[in-house]
Structure 1
Amino acid sequence: MRIELTDSPDARDEAFVIAQTRAFNAAFTKEDVRPLSVFIRDGEDRILGGLTAKTYWEYLEIQFLWIDESHRANGLASDLMTTAEKEAANRGCKHVFLDTLSFQALGFYEKLGYSEFGRLEGFSGRHDRHFLHKSLEHLADVQR
């Protein structure tokens, strides 16, 4: 037996650990992890903005949200979030959560109705990581 430490793991090894963790979790809940991505493209099919997420266990987990700098402050980020939230509600999600760093978009998410439920300090020595959530129950009622 040996411990292996690496900063360049084999993709098969990572996939194995993920699969084993999901197999364990299956004893407690259903396996329903699904990717969810939303993109905004220009007339030449270039991505001007995008959102990546996953839905599982009645939650939407927003992972990345980005808008090209030349298209910010035009409501595109809100459009991406609204589209993702509606699709998550269609998939049966009742909640959404995400995290953002203090130099990113805390105020933006708060304007969309997100509430902070946790914070970690000291990222890169000076930034806070904010953990936010929001109920999607109002969307579930609309979807019915």
Structure 2
Amino acid sequence: MARFDFIDDKQFKYNEDIFKGLQAYNRSQTGYREKDKQNFYVCDDGEVIGACHTKMASDWCHIRRIYYKNIDVLKDLLNDVKEYYKGKVEGFQFSSVLPKFIKDFKELGYVEKGRLKDMPIGGENVFLLSTDFAPYETKKEYDIQATEQRIEQYDDVLKKENRKLRKSLNFSSETVDIQFVVLDNGKFVGGIYGNFKYDYLFINVLYVKEKYRGRNIATKLMDLIENAAFEKGITNLYLTTFEFQALGFYKKRGYKKVMEIYDYPIGFKEYTVYKNLKEIR
């Protein structure tokens, strides 16, 4: 007989089980999707003047941590990203809470797909997309390197510039992880993982093994993480879900669709949904 124990997994002991379980389910629905991580560096006379990390997932390139001295450097940086991923992805995704980044990317043709208000409080997190692979016109050719392995001395500059940026902010950029799991007589059944950042809770992964579905386990896991957020004074929540996952489930819990991306991965839609706990409590 099943005996379910819901655990606050503060040591993240079952984090790999949660991610691997969901990844296997996604593959069963979409087939194998290539993944890739790259690092791009722009140098001028040996000085690092631009850098970014990218991740290929769901047939899109996600531009992640980034630094650039000016918009001309950004053009060269993104040109190299475009050249590397051409024929591999549908397009490029970038999001930021920083108005300067948003302005610069929009100036280069990125289109706003959605936004989350009060992330952080008084600000907004803007989600931008581009499917344009044509290179930007640039004033100067710099030394650009793309590599799977990070170049430590170059990456140190990226980290340093990011630290300077964080110190200049009037809000915290700290990320705090949270995870709950459910066990059946000590064996992993499922779990939920998320993180607090910019006055929001992002629910990253929710997974329950197939044989245990239909027993309100996912509902209980969502209750646990939402209650934990409320107790911390965090009332804004969001998550993403593919069309073959659980959009209906989240809608029943009061989540509202704020963004929709086609061919993410190819042949499928991805939805971003949002919920404000103040509105329902």
Report the TM-score, using the length of structure 1 for normalisation. 0.81
2:206 aligned with 1:65: yes
- In the other structure, the counterpart of 2:63 is none
Out of 35, 40, 59, the position equivalent to 2:177 is: 35
Query: Amino acid of the residue matched to residue 24 of structure 1?
Result: L
Quick check: 1:101–1:128 contact (8 Å CA) kept in 2? yes
Q: State the alpha-carbon separation in 1 of the partners of residues 183 and 159 from structure 2.
A: 32
Q: State the alpha-carbon separation in 2 of the partners of residues 9 and 51 from structure 1.
A: 31
Quick check: 1:22–1:31 contact (8 Å CA) kept in 2? no
1:40-90 Cα deviation digits (max 9, x unpaired)? 11213x220111100123211000110001001110001111100010111
- In the other structure, the counterpart of 1:134 is 275
Quick check: 1:119–1:131 contact (8 Å CA) kept in 2? yes
In the TM superposition, 1:1-144 aligns within 5 A as 1=43, 2-9=143-150, 17=158, 21=162, 23-26=164-167, 27-44=169-186, 46-137=187-278
Distance 1:8 1:67, change over 3 A: farther
Query: Amino acid of the residue matched to residue 122 of structure 1?
Result: D
Q: State the alpha-carbon separation in 1 of the partners of residues 208 and 249 from structure 2.
A: 13
Query: Amino acid of the residue matched to residue 263 of structure 2?
Result: G
CA drift at 1:3: 3.0
The 3-state SS of whatever aligns with 1:117 is: strand
Q: State the alpha-carbon separation in 1 of the partners of residues 248 and 172 from structure 2.
A: 34
Q: State the alpha-carbon separation in 2 of the partners of residues 117 and 124 from structure 1.
A: 18
Q: State the alpha-carbon separation in 1 of the partners of residues 157 and 185 from structure 2.
A: 41
More displaced stretch, 97-106 vs 19-28 = 19-28
**Structure 2 gap ranges (5+):** 1-42, 44-142
Supply the RMSD in Å over aligned alpha carbons.
2.8
State percent identity of aligned pairs: 23
**Structure 1 gap ranges (5+):** none
Distance 1:100 1:58, change over 3 A: same
Please identify runs of 4+ aligned residues in structure 1 that moved more than 3 A.
Answer: 6-11, 13-23
Q: State the alpha-carbon separation in 2 of the partners of residues 91 and 125 from structure 1.
A: 38
CA drift at 1:10: 7.5
Q: State the alpha-carbon separation in 2 of the partners of residues 51 and 69 from structure 1.
A: 15
Distance 1:104 1:20, change over 3 A: farther
Q: State the alpha-carbon separation in 2 of the partners of residues 51 and 14 from structure 1.
A: 32
Q: Larger RCO: Structure 1 or Structure 2 (Cα < 8 Å, ≥ 6 residues apart)? A: 2
Distance 1:15 1:87, change over 3 A: farther
The 3-state SS of whatever aligns with 1:70 is: helix
Query: Amino acid of the residue matched to residue 176 of structure 2?
Result: R
Distance 1:86 1:17, change over 3 A: farther
The 3-state SS of whatever aligns with 1:108 is: helix
Over alpha carbons, which structure has the higher Rg?
2
Q: State the alpha-carbon separation in 2 of the partners of residues 49 and 16 from structure 1.
A: 40
